[in-house]
Amino acid sequence: MDRSAVDTVIRTLIEPFNKKQVSIEDSTTFAGDLEFDSLTVMDFVAAIEDEFDIIISMNQQAEIETYGNLVDAVHTLQGK
Amino acid sequence: MTDTTNQAPDLFDKFDGIIHTRTELLAGGVEDPFNLVMERVISPTRAICNGRETILLGTYNYMGMTFDPDVIEAGKQALENFGSGTTGSRVLNGTYRGHRDCEDALREFYGMDHAMVFSTGYQANLGIISTIAGKGDYIVLDIDSHASIWDGCALGNAEVVPFKHNDIEAMDKRLGRIPAGAGKLVVLEGVYSMLGDIAPLKEMIAVAKKHGAMVLVDEAHSMGFIGEHGRGVAEAQGVLDDVDFVIGTFSKSVGTVGGFCVSNHPKFEIMRLVCRPYVFTASLPPSVVATAATSIRKLMQGGAKRAHLWENSQRLHGGLTKLGFTLGTTEPQSAIVAVIMPDLERGAAMWEALLKEGLYVNLARPPATPANMTLLRCSLCAEHSTEEVETILGMFERAGKAVSII
């Protein structure tokens, strides 16, 4: 799957978690703009992990601040 | 102070949110739930708190061993014969006869080959988890794990992968995605202390073993009470033999302070040299290990007390349900009964109303709680009489009505 296809899938997955209908750019932050708390993060990460059959460990999550970071990380991880 | 260009921020600014919440709560006039002083302790179930005689229902003193005459006597003897403290690490001058005896007592209690005593339960999780799971290894753990487990993960260098609470399928999937050749440690708890619910260890451990993972189970809240010999939830579910490491504490059923790990792993003893939270701290005082060893051996014969504690848990759980309170579990699963509060304000008001009735429970709030709940956590003691549990239910009824929760 190329980066834009990964982006499309994640955009669909994030919808139920984007309660405030924030418009999503690569620079959108999870903690600041989307106001995800730890429980939301867990459910959202689980949805992505299940869709792509990957693990995004807490260590990797710590490096992911923006939507763009996430798409990049998933794009890299699913190729492995 | 005029030139601010070179001024770094106050490092305490990050706590402004919690300072604000706390100030607001106390401005409402409630007694500070996190600043209670016990002026005198009368028994495992009674104390003078903030000037009032109070029934203690939030101590984790499940088996009421803190005032056991044999336990007290053992502590006095050790204090007199070995002094007030060891002033040293277990690997230097801090291993006395009593420390070895305490580890013998643990081996007898669990029927396991190795036992290692730490200065606290927190340090046992911190030390074992951070040491055995290293760089390139994976720790798969329940999202509702205790802070000491999370801190053990944070101290080490392994990849940390949480799964939804007690979700066997979520755990299975994550274990299945770990790259081939990586070491795997699954971390579970017997009883989760916030809601008092237990883990389906039998199914979870079978899944962990299918993936070749080692299993660590924290039995802090089940030791002494759950299972035929009080060895915990893994014993009760018949899977203790499949647990690689049991973590426990002396600060609940055992009735003092300290932590431990027991294991049958043939290389376990090397932990004493490589586990930094074990090496770089002073060992427990001689009186503490003497009281712990005596208490642990008495807990092996605690069948009658265990039965009464179950009765207490069932009576309190049933009574609170009947009164209309919302509880953390639909049936009693442990000696913890968690009453779910609608919000922090009413939770704090209810906590204070109970304290004025003469009852102490734990107020638990985010971030320590799952799903941002505010809880009044009740932990029962085998020394609570049946009549006392009825008195407690009356207190809950009056306080609950006064605060309009029921």
Q: A12: domain range?
A: 3-78
Record: contact A55-B170, CB cut-off 8 A: no
Structure tokens at B128: 């074992």
Contacts of B86 (CB under 8 A, 6+ apart): B93, B94, B96, B282, B283, B284, B285, B286
Nearest CA in chain B to A62: B160
Is residue B352 domain-shared with residue B278, that is, in the same domain? no
The residue among B271, B299, B327 that closes a domain is B299
Residues B75 and B139 in one domain: yes
The shortest CB-CB distance from B177 to any of A37, A55, A58 is to A55
B248 and B172 in a single domain? The answer is yes
Residue B16 lies in a domain: no
The answer to whether residues B362 and B242 belong to one domain is no
For residue B363, the model assigns a pLDDT of: 94
CB within 8 Å: B174 and A55: yes
B381 shares a domain with B238: no
* pTM of structure: 0.95
Rounded to a whole number, what is the distance in Å from the CA of A68 to chain B's nearest CA?
22
CB-based contact B380:B64 (threshold 8 Å)? no
Query: Taking CB atoms and an 8 Å limit, are A49 and B177 in contact across chains?
Result: yes
Q: Mean pLDDT score of chain B, rounded to an integer?
A: 96
Tell me the mean pLDDT in the region B211-224.
Answer: 98
Q: Are residues B78 and B52 in the same domain?
A: no
* Structure token digits, residue B273: 């040299």
- In three-state secondary structure terms, B163 is strand
Res A39: pLDDT: 85
Q: What is the pLDDT of residues B114-124, one digit of tens each?
A: 999 999 999 99
**What domain count does chain A have?**
1
Distance from CA of A22 to the nearest CA of B (A): 23
pLDDT at B2 over 60: no
Q: To 10 degrees, what angle do helices B69-82 and B286-299 make?
A: 150
CATH of residue A58's domain is 1.10.1200.10
Range of the domain at B234: 68-299
Residue B255 shares a structural domain with residue B152: yes
Measured in angstroms, the CA of A55 and the nearest CA of chain B are apart by 6
- Could you tell me if B259 and B344 lie in one domain? no
In a domain, B4, yes or no: no
Omega of the bond leading into B179 within 30 degrees of 0 (cis) = no
Considering only CA atoms, which of B55, B30, B54 is closest in space to residue B349? B30
The CATH number of residue B47's host domain is 3.90.1150.10
pLDDT band at B163 (very low <50, low <70, confident <90, very high): very high
pLDDT greater than 90 at residue B68:
yes
Residue A46: which of B138, B170, B371 has the nearest Cβ? B170
Q: Give the torsion sign (CA, A60, A63, A67, A70).
A: negative
**Structural domain contains residue B58:** yes
Under a CB-based contact definition with an 8 Å cutoff, are residues B103 and B116 in contact?
A: yes
Alpha carbon distance B139, B213 (integer Å):
9
* Contact residues, chain B, for A39 at CB < 8 Å: 371-372
Q: For residues B126 and B148, is the Cβ–Cβ distance under 8 A?
A: yes
User: Of B138, B143, B177, which is closest to A42 when you measure between CB atoms?
Assistant: B143
Look at residue B12 and tell me if it is in a domain: no
Cβ atoms within 10 Å, residue A2: 8
CB < 8 Å to A38, chain B: 367
Using DSSP, state whether A72 is helix, strand or coil. Answer: helix
Cβ distance B55 to B375 under 8 Å?
Answer: no
B288: Cβ contacts below 8 Å, ≥ 6 apart: B75, B250, B256, B257, B258
B376-393 pLDDT, tens digit each = 999 999 999 999 999 999
Given the DSSP bridges, would you call strands B52-56 and B359-360 parallel, antiparallel or unpaired?
A: parallel
Complete edge-to-edge strand list for the sheet that includes strand B114-118? B114-118, B259-263, B245-249, B214-218, B184-189, B138-142, B159-163
CB contact under 8 A, A38 and B367: yes
Return the percentage of chain B with pLDDT > 70, whole number.
99
Q: For the residues B98-102, what does the mean pLDDT come to?
A: 98
In a domain, B6, yes or no: no
Residues of B within an 8 Å Cβ radius of A: 138, 143, 153, 159-164, 170, 173-174, 177-178, 367, 371-372
Decide if B10 is inside a domain. no
Asked if B205 and B183 sit in the same domain, the reply is yes
Rg (CA), chain B: 22
End position of a domain, from candidates B299, B334, B352: B299
User: Which of A35, A38, A58, A77 to probe the B interface (max B CBs under 10 A)?
Assistant: A58
* A59–B367 C-beta distance less than 8 A: no
- What is the per-residue burial (b if ≥16 Cβ within 10 Å, else e) of B191-230? bbbbbbbbbebeebbebbeeeebbbbbbbbbbbbbbbebb
From B299, B321, B339, the end of a domain falls on B299
* B327 secondary structure, DSSP code: B
Q: Determine contact, residues B393/B319, Cβ cutoff 8 Å.
A: yes
B372 vs A contacts (CB less than 8 Å): 37, 39
For B149, list phi and psi in degrees, rounded to 5.
-70, -45
B7 within some domain: no
Which tokens in the block code for residue B139? 């720790």
Residues B180 and B323 in one domain: no
- What does the pLDDT look like over A31-76, one tens digit per residue? 999 999 888 999 999 999 999 999 999 999 999 999 999 999 999 9
Nearest CA to A53 out of A8, A6, A4, A3 is that of A6
Check if the interface score ipTM surpasses 0.90.
yes
Question: Number of structural domains, chain B?
Answer: 2
Residues B103 and B147 in one domain: yes
| Nearest-by-CA chain B residue for A40 | B371
Tell me if B40 is assigned to some domain: yes
DSSP B117: E
d(CA B334, CA B347): 22
Chain B positions touching A49 (Cβ under 8 A) are 173-174, 177
Between the CA of residue B253 and those of B48, B117, B130, B218, B337, what are the distances in Å?
22, 16, 26, 14, 16
Query: B81 and B196: one domain?
Result: yes
